[in-house]
Chains A and B, each alone.
Chain A
C-alpha cells in the first residue's frame, strides 16, 4: 500500500498519449535492427518530432564552432578555428559572468543577449520598438509558455479558466494547459481552406465555454503546427480584434517564423500587426509572443532555448512574473549564446560566410523541394490528401481510412490513425504521429510527419509511404 497514490488531479487530467506505444515499439525495432533481425528496411526513418538534426539535417558549422570555442576557450589560442569564429566566441564569453558558460546568467537572460534579441525583433518588425526588459529567455519556448500560463490560470477558480487553442494543435501545449488545471477550448481550423482560421469558429469556441469554464486566453501558433498554414495580415487583425472584444490574453507561438515557403507567403509577427493597427488596440491588447532556437535553419532543439516577449502587460503583474521566472534560475547559457548566433549570423565578407551561406541555402532549397514533393506525392495517391504546406516543419495529410480498417482498429483498441501509424512503422520503419493526438474533426484522420529532412531521406520516406499506403488501402477495401 503506497503512501503516495494520491496525486495532483490536474496532472491526472493530462492525456495519456498513444504515441508512447509507438515510441516503445520503435525503440524495440531499433534494437532488433542492431541485432541483425531481417526487416524490409535497414533503418528507421523517425519523422515524429519537429527535430531536424534527428532526421539527418546537419548543424550549422559556424554555430557549432563558436560554441566549441566558448566551451573550451583553449581553442581560441590557435588558428584551428577561423578568425571570425574566434572573435565571436571571445565576445560572447565576455558577456558571461567569470567568462564562463558554466556560470548563471541573470533571471531573464544574459544582458547582451537580451539586447541583441530586442534589436532583432525591432529589425524583424520593420522598426516597431522592442525593449530588453520585456523579454525572458527560458529553457525552450514551451517553458516560457508554461510560466505565462501559470500566471494566467488560477487552479482553484470555479468555473475553471479556459484557453482557446487551435484544433489540430501541438499536444505539448494542450497537456501544459490541462496540467495547470485549466480547460482547453478547441477552435477548428478549416482544412479545405489550407487550415485557415475563421473568426466565426473562434466565436463558436468562445460560446461553447458557457457553463463549462471562463475563457481567459487565446493561444495561436503561426506558422502552424501540425497544420502548415501561415496567417495573412487580415486574419491576424481579426484575431486581435476578437481578443480585444472578448477580453482575452493573446499567446502567439511564433517558433516557426523562419520556416516559410510558398511564393506569396510572408511571416508577420503578431506584435508588428498589433502595433501597425494603432491605438487603442496597439496599447491595450495584452500579448505574449514566443520564439525559439529549436526550429528554423539552426534547429538546435536539444540546447533548449526559447524566449517570450511581453507586450502591454500590467507592470505589477510583470514584477510578479519576474519573481516566478527567478525561481527557474536561468536558461542554459550555451543555448542563450546560440540565440545570439541565430539572430546575428555571419555577414558577407566574414571568413565563415561562404560556408554558412552554402549550408543554409542547401537547407532552404531542400525544404522547398520537400514541401513540393510531399504535396505532389500525397495528393497523387487515392485516399490521401494534403493541404499546401506554407510554413512550419510538418505535413499533416488527411488519410481516408476505410471502414474495414476503422473496425480493425476498434478491435485492437486503437484510434484508426494510430492503427495506421503502427502498421506504417512495422512494415516500413517510418515513425509518424497519429492525427488523433492533435485534435481533428470527428470522422477525419490524419498523420503528422516532419518535412525538415535531408533530400534523400524525404525521397525514401515518400517512397515507403506510397507503397505502404497503396497496400493498406487495398487490404482494407
Chain B
C-alpha cells in the first residue's frame, strides 16, 4: 500500500508537501522493505525512492503476472534467517549460536556426504590429466572417458545439444526400462534439464494457453511444492487445487479430484493434472491402486499428466513402494498406454545423492503429439543446454557401479547408509512430534520432509493478525527468533482453511535432529502456554 501510494500520490501535490510526504513515506518504505528482507541497501533505496516517479520499470508497467509469484521455500522467513546469520557473524548475542536451516531439501548443507564414485568421475571429467593417476579406480576412469568422448572437444565446458548429450539420454532410457520392468523408453522422449524444476516450468509454459474461460487450468495438490503455484502465477494459468486427505495419511482421493475439476470447468479449461509422488511437503507414497485411479481419471477427463517423481528413491515406510506412473500406465494395457499423455520428472538433487548444486534432471514425455514435441524442442533450445556436469552426474545416477565393478561395494555401502539414516530420521521425527500435545504428525512415508499439523491458541491467531502475519508464519518467525531454527510455514504450501502446519526437513544428522526436535517441542509448549 505504501509503495503504490508513493507512486500515485506525488504528482498531485505541491512541492513542499511532496518533500515532507516523500521523506516520511520514504522512511516507512525503507522500514517496510527492510522488514520484508529486500536486498537493497538503504542508500540505494533512498536514491531510487526519490526518482521513482520517472522510472520506466515500475509495479504498474511490469508484467503483472510476476507480481503474484511467491516461493515460500526461499521466501521471507529465509531472508530473516540469513539476516540473523549475518548478525551472529557480527557478534550479536542470541539464545543460539547457529541457525539451523531446516527449510530447504538440501542434504549436503546438512552434512550429508557425496557419493565417492560420483565425485571421482566428475573430478576426472573436470581435469582429465588425473586419468593417469593410479589413485582413481578403473571403473571411474572408464566412465569419465566415455562421458568426455561424448562432449564437444572432449570437454565438459562445451555446449551440448539442447536436449542433452545423446549417450546420456540413451542411458536414462535404459535406466527407465530397467526400473519399469522392461517397458520400452526412447531416448528421443528424454529431455535433460537444469534440475527437474526447469523441465516442469518448460512443460507448463508449453501447455498454458487460451483466453478467459478457455484459459488452461492446472490441477495441483494442496499442500503442494510452491514451484507449481509460482509457475502457474507467472504463466497466468488457472490453479485448480485438489485437497489431499490429512486424516488418511495425506492420501489422494479421486472423488476430490472430480469435485475440484467440476467446479473449475465453470471458469477455465482444465488440461493438466500435476501429482508429486512421493509427495512434497507431505511425504506420502501413492499406492498402486491410487495411481491407477488417477490415470483413469486423467483419461476420462482428457488431462495431461505431470508426474513429479524426484523422490523416487526416498521411500521409508513399511508397506510403501514407489510405483512409477509410466509403469502403471503401461501395465493398464494399450487402451491407456497408447492414449494418456504424460511427462514424468526426475532429478539429481534428492534421493541418496542430494546433489542440488549441480542442477541435474530430466523429463520423459509419453504419447506427446509430434507437433507439440517439435514446439517443445524449439522451447528448450532457448536455454542453450543444461549444465554439462549435471548431465554427467545424471549419467552416473542412472548407471551406477555394477556388482562386478571395483567401486560397487563402497557405492552400495554409502547409498544404503544414506537411505537407512533418512528412514530412521523419518521415524524419529514422526514419533517425537506425535508426543507433543498440540502437534500431530502423519507418518513420513517418503521424500525428506515432515508436515505436521500444529494447533494454535486463539490468542496467538489474534496476535498474528494484529502483526499482519498469517498465524503459522507468526509461529515460525517466533521459533526462528527464539531458537534459531528455520522452517517454512504451511501457508507457503497451501492447507485447509483454519488449519496450520509447518514443513521441516529431516536432513540434519541424527544427533542434531534430536536436538532440533527437542527444541521445537519445548518451543511449542512455551508458545501454547504464552498464548493460553
Question: Is A117 interfacial (CB-CB < 8 Å)?
Answer: no
Minimum CB–CB distance from A52 to chain B (whole Å) comes to 8
Partner of B236, one of A96, A102, A155: A155
State whether A53 and B155 are in contact (beta carbons under 8 Å apart), knowing that A14-B379, A315-B49, A327-B227 are contacts in the complex.
yes
Question: Is B469 interfacial (CB-CB < 8 Å)?
Answer: no
Number of chain B interface residues as a range? 35 or more
Contact of B108 with A103 in the complex, beta carbons under 8 Å = yes
State whether A327 and B48 are in contact (beta carbons under 8 Å apart), knowing that A9-B209, A146-B382 are contacts in the complex.
no
> Chain B contacts of A23 at CB under 8 A?
161
State whether A5 and B369 are in contact (beta carbons under 8 Å apart), knowing that A98-B109, A304-B385 are contacts in the complex.
yes
Contact of A54 with B159 in the complex, beta carbons under 8 Å = yes
Whose C-beta in chain B lies nearest to the C-beta of A55?
A: B153
Question: Is A152 interfacial (CB-CB < 8 Å)?
Answer: yes
Whose C-beta in chain A lies nearest to the C-beta of B40?
A: A315
Contact of A142 with B382 in the complex, beta carbons under 8 Å = yes
Whose C-beta in chain A lies nearest to the C-beta of B74?
A: A326
Which residues of chain B from 301 to 359 have a CB within 8 Å of any chain A CB?
A: 302-304, 341, 353-359
Which residues of chain B from 55 to 109 have a CB within 8 Å of any chain A CB?
A: 55-59, 61-67, 69-71, 73-75, 82, 104, 106-109
> Chain B contacts of A139 at CB under 8 A?
194, 359, 383, 387
Minimum CB–CB distance from A152 to chain B (whole Å) comes to 7
Which residues of chain A from 28 to 74 have a CB within 8 Å of any chain B CB?
A: 46, 49, 51, 53-59, 61, 64-65, 67-69, 71-72
Which residues of chain B from 251 to 306 have a CB within 8 Å of any chain A CB?
A: 271, 302-304
> Chain A contacts of B153 at CB under 8 A?
51, 53-57
Question: Is B389 interfacial (CB-CB < 8 Å)?
Answer: yes
Which residues of chain B from 145 to 195 have a CB within 8 Å of any chain A CB?
A: 151-153, 155-161, 194-195
Contact of A302 with B387 in the complex, beta carbons under 8 Å = yes
> Chain B contacts of A59 at CB under 8 A?
155, 157
Question: Is B466 interfacial (CB-CB < 8 Å)?
Answer: no
Contact of B39 with A322 in the complex, beta carbons under 8 Å = yes
State whether A303 and B63 are in contact (beta carbons under 8 Å apart), knowing that A3-B304, A133-B41 are contacts in the complex.
no
Question: Is A333 interfacial (CB-CB < 8 Å)?
Answer: yes
Contact of A100 with B123 in the complex, beta carbons under 8 Å = no
Minimum CB–CB distance from B153 to chain A (whole Å) comes to 4
Contact of A97 with B157 in the complex, beta carbons under 8 Å = no
Contact of A53 with B157 in the complex, beta carbons under 8 Å = yes
Docked pose: A247 CA to B56 CA in angstroms: 6
Contact of A98 with B41 in the complex, beta carbons under 8 Å = no
Minimum CB–CB distance from B1 to chain A (whole Å) comes to 12
Contact of A319 with B378 in the complex, beta carbons under 8 Å = no
Question: Is B403 interfacial (CB-CB < 8 Å)?
Answer: no
Contact of A326 with B75 in the complex, beta carbons under 8 Å = yes
Question: Interface code A1-26, partner B: CB below 8 Å = 1, 0 otherwise?
Answer: 01111111101101011000001000
Docked pose: A172 CA to B384 CA in angstroms: 8
Contact of B355 with A102 in the complex, beta carbons under 8 Å = yes
State whether A322 and B69 are in contact (beta carbons under 8 Å apart), knowing that A68-B123, A334-B358 are contacts in the complex.
no
Minimum CB–CB distance from B405 to chain A (whole Å) comes to 18
Partner of B62, one of A152, A155, A323: A152
Which of B12-20, B126-134, B483-491 forms contacts with chain A? B126-134
Find the residue from B39, B236, B389 having the highest chain A CB count within 10 A: B39
> Chain A contacts of B198 at CB under 8 A?
328
Whose C-beta in chain A lies nearest to the C-beta of B355?
A: A102
> Chain B contacts of A284 at CB under 8 A?
51, 54-55
Minimum CB–CB distance from B131 to chain A (whole Å) comes to 11
Question: Is A140 interfacial (CB-CB < 8 Å)?
Answer: yes
> Chain B contacts of A131 at CB under 8 A?
41, 44
> Chain B contacts of A16 at CB under 8 A?
374, 378
Contact of B369 with A4 in the complex, beta carbons under 8 Å = yes
Which of B200-208, B455-463, B523-531 forms contacts with chain A? B200-208
> Chain A contacts of B40 at CB under 8 A?
133-134, 315, 318
Minimum CB–CB distance from A131 to chain B (whole Å) comes to 6
> Chain A contacts of B122 at CB under 8 A?
71-72
Contact of A97 with B372 in the complex, beta carbons under 8 Å = no
Docked pose: A58 CA to B155 CA in angstroms: 8
Docked pose: A154 CA to B234 CA in angstroms: 10
> Chain A contacts of B354 at CB under 8 A?
102
Question: Is A189 interfacial (CB-CB < 8 Å)?
Answer: no
Q: Which 4 A-B pairs have the closest CB atoms?
A: A333-B357, A302-B388, A54-B152, A97-B109
Please name 27 pairs of A and B residues whose Cβ atoms are closer than 8 Å in the assembled complex, sorted by A.
A2-B368, A3-B271, A5-B371, A8-B209, A11-B378, A17-B381, A68-B130, A72-B122, A80-B135, A100-B109, A101-B357, A102-B114, A102-B354, A104-B357, A139-B383, A172-B382, A247-B56, A284-B51, A302-B157, A314-B57, A318-B38, A320-B59, A322-B39, A323-B66, A323-B70, A327-B201, A328-B197
Extra pairs beyond A17-B381, A139-B359, A315-B44 (13, CB < 8 Å): A2-B369, A11-B205, A54-B159, A57-B153, A61-B129, A71-B123, A98-B111, A102-B358, A134-B44, A247-B56, A301-B159, A312-B55, A324-B234
Binding site for A on B (CB under 8 A): 3, 29, 33, 36, 38-41, 44-45, 47-49, 51-52, 54-59, 61-67, 69-71, 73-75, 82, 104, 106-112, 114, 119-120, 122-124, 126-127, 129-130, 133, 135, 151-153, 155-161, 194-195, 197-198, 201, 205-210, 227, 230-231, 234, 236, 271, 302-304, 341, 353-359, 367-369, 371-372, 374-375, 378-379, 381-390
